[in-house]
Amino acid sequence: MKLNGNFIFQGSEARTGIKDPTKTYYEAALLSGIEQLRSSCDQKLFNEVLPSIKPFTECNCVFSFNPQYNTLKLTEIYPVK
C-alpha cells in the first residue's frame, strides 16, 4: 500500500545493526508539525537522492506500508517548490 504526504526533511543516517553488525540500515528523519518520523529507506535513495536535499526543506514523500509488519519505508521524496 502506498501513502504520501508533505514533511520537512531533517536529514539522513546510516547505522550498523546491533544483532548483525555486517548489516547497514538507512533512515531519513522527517517532521510533520511537532511529530518526528524516522523512516527506513533503501541504499539507492540514501546515496543518490537524500544528499541533494538540504535539511529543513519541505518535501512530498511517498511511503510503502507493510501491514503484516506495520512498517513504513520511504520510497520517493521530492522537494516542494
The predicted-structure confidence for 44-81, as pLDDT tens digits, reads as follows: 999 999 999 999 999 999 999 999 999 999 999 999 97
User: Nearest to residue 14, comparing CAs of 35, 30, 29?
Assistant: 29
- Cell output for 44: 539507492
Instruction: Give the residue-averaged pLDDT of 21-44.
Output: 96
Average pLDDT, the chain: 95
Instruction: Give the residue-averaged pLDDT of 12-41.
Output: 95
State percent of the chain over pLDDT 70: 100
User: Nearest to residue 30, comparing CAs of 48, 47, 5?
Assistant: 5
The secondary element (H helix, E strand) that includes residue 25 is: strand 24-32
